[in-house]
Structure 1
Amino acid sequence: MKKLLVTGASGFLGWNLCQLAKQGWDVYGTYFSKSVEISGVTLVKADIRNFQETKRLFSKIEPTAVIHTAAQSSPNFCQTHPDESYQINVTASCDLAGLCADSAIPCAFTSTDLVFDGLNPPYRETDTVCPVNQYGEQKVMAEQGMLERYPRVAVCRMPLMFGIAESATSFIQPFIKTLREGQELNLFTDEFRTPTSGKTAASGLLLALRSVEGLIHLGGKERISRYEFGRLMADVLELPQEKLKSCRQKDVPMAAPRSADVSLDSSKAFALGYQPLSLRKELEALRGKV
């Protein structure tokens, strides 16, 4: 079997990707600080911020493809720790692209819908990037730097993702815990995304690895606010809704500025065979598991 190297295997998306990829690949996954075990996957502790360490990893594993999901993905952390987050989000990403170029192997990279300012949605791959926070800025720099090093990289702009992973949580787990404990949950009515499940997003990454060079959007099919998503989630998962409240972005102080609507137009991916389910069906698949 061909060898697939997945960086960030202990993260939410990386874990979901490993679960799916191991059906057709000999999968090697890296983790940094959080040890993880995934049946059928070889896990390797590695600091990919260290170029020499990453180079040795490539020499040892000799991957035939790479999917790079490792990142510092908290916008607030990136805003307050720009130098630290730059090392993993930009420097390590560009180094990986260079190593993939040296070996002439397929490479997919997980960028974000937050490369846009949210003023002119839905966004296509051809639209001009215009991030409003450090995280978005760093992902733009990684996109551009990786494609300069290796034009064959599939740069996959990912949406808000939800679901389950043994090693990490998605954004819905704290929502579910809050509602089950009878506490008030305030969600934005003025922030819109095109979310999908981690499992579906992983399928999109594998598709992009096989058939995309350059930019591709892997959003879901429905534009929805965080508040409306919360209502749908509570309905499908039969959670108490009386403490689910609406608010606006300006009501919640945050280190990183937020884009209002970074909905993705993913028609290019849909045409290639990427088929997210409806949000209701994606959530129904989580019943009894979250």
Structure 2
Amino acid sequence: MKLLVTGASGFLGWNVCRVAAPDWEIYGTTFSHSSPIPGVTLLTVDLRDERQLQEAFQQVQPDAVIHLAAQSSPNECQNHPKASYLLNVTVACTIANLCAEVEIPLAFTSTDLVFDGLNAPYCETDPVSPRSVYGEQKAIAETEILKRYPKAAICRMPLMFGAAPAHASSFIGPFAQALREERELRLFVDEFRTPVSGTTAAKGLFMALDKVEGMIHLGGQERISRYDFGRLMVEELDLPGTGLKACRQQDVPMAAPRPPDVSLNSSKAFALGYAPRSLRSELADLKGQI
């Protein structure tokens, strides 16, 4: 069975490829990064070029697609809305059309940032209310994909963390480095998420690919602030905590507005077999890798 993974060189893409390796023949698209990924045939494709994208589908003839490629920086989207729309919405629509033509499973990664953070925890049927351009683009993509291909799995993802290869990054890498060097690391006490590791998220995507049509939330079991997540990192990764400082969202000016609490209610996914582990155990497994 052939799996096409867009954005294979990113943090989540790398984790998806690792999880897929035993069961799939994997083809991954890359554009700005082309470092080899063991067991993956990489295709250099500018997804914004519809012709290149169609040619990649014709070449691979995938049995399933996981579409991860995106401009996922809220600040970049806020500052460059037209360029990010092309990747976050237009490309997603093209991929939905291509999958619909041959009726193959499609999993698309959306985000918890489609919500405004005022009525958490959010379930799949709650109305979207994005505060940022990024959240707005992902919400549009969700609607447009399902309009074109109702069988697609729309996977709203939480904050994700974990080990990453040299060509990708996870936010906890720079966090851990700052703490080791005892530099100041200011984390929000008033921003809450339901994080999962990249490995857990990848397993959730394959569950959705197999079992879900429509919307699914793939958040973790625990609601936690960024600051308290930092404290867990200090404890489980044996990092010095002297540089860890609490701050509030208003203390850090950013281009994109940030919602205060986009915790996801993922009970629908849990009932289907999605099983995130505790944050402590996930972090403990990363000891020596971060």
Q: Say whether the fold is shared (TM-score over 0.5).
A: yes
1:250 positional shift: 0.2
Runs of 4+ in 1 over 3 A off after TM superposition: none
**AA at the equivalent of 1:221:** Q
1:58 positional shift: 0.6
Q: CA RMSD in A?
A: 0.5
Residue-by-residue CA offset, 1:112-145 (whole Å, 9 max, x unaligned): 0000000000000000000000000000011011
State the SS of the aligned residue for 1:43.
strand
Would you say 1:169 and 2:169 are equivalent positions?
A: yes
1:182 positional shift: 1.2
1:185 positional shift: 0.6
1:51 positional shift: 0.9
How many corresponding residue pairs?
289
State the SS of the aligned residue for 1:71.
coil
Q: 1:257: which partner in 2?
A: 257
Would you say 1:142 and 2:141 are equivalent positions?
A: yes
Q: For 1:184 and 1:164, locate their aligned partners in 2 and report how far apart those are by CA, in whole Å.
A: 22
Q: For 1:279 and 1:53, locate their aligned partners in 2 and report how far apart those are by CA, in whole Å.
A: 40
Q: For 2:50 and 2:143, locate their aligned partners in 1 and report how far apart those are by CA, in whole Å.
A: 19
State the SS of the aligned residue for 1:259.
coil
State the SS of the aligned residue for 1:284.
helix
Would you say 1:182 and 2:203 are equivalent positions?
A: no
Q: For 1:209 and 1:84, locate their aligned partners in 2 and report how far apart those are by CA, in whole Å.
A: 28
- Comparing 188-197 with 31-40, which one deviates more in the overlay? 31-40
Q: 1:133: which partner in 2?
A: 132
1:153 positional shift: 0.6
Q: How does 1:110-259 map to 2 (within 5 A)?
A: 110-166=109-165, 167-259=167-259
Residue-by-residue CA offset, 1:196-243 (whole Å, 9 max, x unaligned): 000000000000000000000000000000000000011100111011
Q: Provide the TM-score with structure 2 as the length reference.
A: 0.99
**AA at the equivalent of 2:190:** D
State the SS of the aligned residue for 1:17.
helix
Residue-by-residue CA offset, 1:61-120 (whole Å, 9 max, x unaligned): 100100000000000000000001111100000100000000110000000000000000
Q: For 1:77 and 1:5, locate their aligned partners in 2 and report how far apart those are by CA, in whole Å.
A: 26
**AA at the equivalent of 2:187:** L
Q: 1:46: which partner in 2?
A: 45
Would you say 1:19 and 2:22 are equivalent positions?
A: no
Q: For 1:285 and 1:23, locate their aligned partners in 2 and report how far apart those are by CA, in whole Å.
A: 21
Q: For 1:288 and 1:17, locate their aligned partners in 2 and report how far apart those are by CA, in whole Å.
A: 21
1:174 positional shift: 1.1
**AA at the equivalent of 1:37:** P
Q: For 2:5 and 2:67, locate their aligned partners in 1 and report how far apart those are by CA, in whole Å.
A: 6
Q: For 2:215 and 2:151, locate their aligned partners in 1 and report how far apart those are by CA, in whole Å.
A: 10
State the SS of the aligned residue for 2:156.
strand
Q: 1:61: which partner in 2?
A: 60
Q: Provide the TM-score with structure 1 as the length reference.
A: 0.99
Q: For 2:271 and 2:171, locate their aligned partners in 1 and report how far apart those are by CA, in whole Å.
A: 28
State the SS of the aligned residue for 1:273.
coil
**AA at the equivalent of 1:7:** T
Structure 2 contact 182–241 (Cα < 8 Å) conserved? no
State the SS of the aligned residue for 2:242.
coil
Q: 1:36: which partner in 2?
A: 35
Q: For 2:169 and 2:192, locate their aligned partners in 1 and report how far apart those are by CA, in whole Å.
A: 21
Q: 2:74: which partner in 1?
A: 75
Q: For 1:203 and 1:181, locate their aligned partners in 2 and report how far apart those are by CA, in whole Å.
A: 34
Q: For 2:39 and 2:185, locate their aligned partners in 1 and report how far apart those are by CA, in whole Å.
A: 38
1:36 positional shift: 2.0
State the SS of the aligned residue for 2:58.
helix
State the SS of the aligned residue for 2:142.
helix
Q: For 2:149 and 2:210, locate their aligned partners in 1 and report how far apart those are by CA, in whole Å.
A: 16
1:22 positional shift: 1.4
1:257 positional shift: 0.2
Q: For 1:110 and 1:281, locate their aligned partners in 2 and report how far apart those are by CA, in whole Å.
A: 25
Q: For 1:148 and 1:226, locate their aligned partners in 2 and report how far apart those are by CA, in whole Å.
A: 35
